[in-house]
Amino acid sequence: MQTWKWVEQIYPMVTEEYHLSPTKPVVMAEGAYEAGSEYGFDVTPLWVRRQAYYSFLAGASHTYGHNDSWRVLPTWKQALDAPGATQLGVMKKVFLERKEWWRLVPDRAVFASGGQTNGQILNLAARHQDGRWVMVYLADKATVSIQMNKVSGDRMVDACWIDPRTGESKVIGQLPNSGLESFSTPVGWEDALLILEPSRR
């Protein structure tokens, strides 16, 4: 699928395809290219991150592009280290650190409140099919309430924030895996990832 500049189309289009039977792979193959000049707005690293996280947490794969690379401008080599490209490397690392990341299941029910699946600014959640982890992406400043029993087991839950720009981790602490917990994006962050996993302690 190709959404070009219409980032608000990613979630509904991927969701529709994801629920087809029999299940087939979904690839969000072309959104807005970083630093692209043809869209009528500035395609920032934040825009690039939103496209990618919306795609993955809805159940699709995602491809990245940069204006200088596809146009093969003299600056194409420098574009390989563009901020958006580097930050998608952070995303790759986050996923690879999750047990069986490929068993991701999109799950709106992770949110007791604050989930958002319409428009350009989304709050999305996915989990391991057996509850080994929960990942929540908040595309802007937000406060959300999370169903903690989405994390499996009878142990406490380790909770942390990850800054999608840098990969910096900010420990929240141990929380019960029952009831509801409220979370607010860290001050100064453009967007945020919330990670919940069974406690290792």
pLDDT tens digit at each of 201 positions of the chain: 999 999 999 999 999 999 999 988 899 999 999 999 999 999 999 999 999 999 999 999 999 999 999 999 999 999 999 999 999 999 999 999 999 999 999 999 999 999 999 999 999 999 999 999 999 999 999 999 999 999 998 779 999 999 999 999 999 999 999 999 999 999 999 999 999 999 986
Radius of gyration of the CA atoms of the chain, in A: 17
**What token pair was written down for 145?**
């309430």
> If residue 153 lies in a helix (H) or strand (E), which one and from where to where?
none
User: Is 172 exposed, middle or buried (CB count within 10 Å of its CB: 0-12, 13-18, 19+)?
Assistant: middle
What integer pLDDT is reported at residue 154 of this predicted model? 76
Q: What DSSP state is assigned to residue 188?
A: T
Q: Is 179 helix (H, G, I), strand (E, B) or coil?
A: coil
**What token pair was written down for 78?**
């420098």
Instruction: State the span(s) of the chain assigned CATH 2.60.40.1180.
Output: 102-198
Class of domain 102-198: mainly beta
